[in-house]
């Protein structure tokens, strides 16, 4: 795991003839230390998803800096950030168990099986899914 840090993070969606410019985030400063657990909470449209999309590289940063560990990742492609997101309307592979669904991204990284198992079990414990790992969705 690595720390995550935002400095003066701003996201502006440009307008067009029919829609005005929208400032989704303005001047966000945030630090999440290594091994900290944090939740973003707020009403719909307040910028939670936009913040996470910028961290994952799925949305460009208009202004400010986004760090993973000590590396500024503003220009780093999403595939090189080692970040995964579970979307609100997520999709699970119905032919795979909960364990296999959780392990899918880790397998693509070719992690050693012991580390993969440990990380899946750690995530399952945090999410309260330990008793469901052998079930299919």
Domain CATH for 25: 3.40.50.300
Count other Cβ atoms within 10 Å, centred on residue 106. 18
pTM: predicted TM-score of the whole model, two decimal places? 0.66
Domain that holds residue 118: 98-132
pLDDT in tens, 12-28: 999 899 999 999 999 99
Identify the residue whose tokens are 């945030």: 30
Domain check: are 9 and 75 in the same one?
Answer: yes
Q: How many domains does the chain have?
A: 2
In a domain, 14, yes or no: yes
- For residue 55, what pLDDT is reported? 95
Cα–Cα separations (whole angstroms), residue 116 to 19, 26, 35, 107: 46, 38, 17, 7
Domain check: are 53 and 108 in the same one?
Answer: no
Whether the predicted pLDDT of 90 surpasses 90: no
Whether the predicted pLDDT of 32 surpasses 90: yes
Domain check: are 73 and 119 in the same one?
Answer: no
């Amino acid at each position: 795991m690595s720390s995550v840090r935002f400095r003066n993070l701003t996201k502006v969606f440009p307008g067009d003839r029919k829609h005005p410019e929208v400032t989704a985030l303005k001047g966000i400063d945030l630090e999440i230390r290594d091994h900290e657990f944090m939740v973003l909470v707020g009403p719909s449209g307040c910028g939670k998803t936009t913040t996470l999309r910028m961290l994952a590289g799925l949305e460009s940063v208009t202004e400010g800096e986004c760090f993973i560990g000590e590396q500024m990742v503003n220009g780093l492609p999403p595939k090189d950030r080692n970040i995964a997101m579970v979307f609100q309307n997520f999709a699970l592979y119905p032919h795979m168990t909960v364990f296999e669904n959780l392990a899918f991204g880790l397998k693509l990284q070719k992690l050693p099986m012991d580390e993969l198992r440990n990380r899946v079990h750690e995530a399952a414990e945090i999410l309260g899914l330990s008793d469901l790992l052998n079930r299919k969705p």
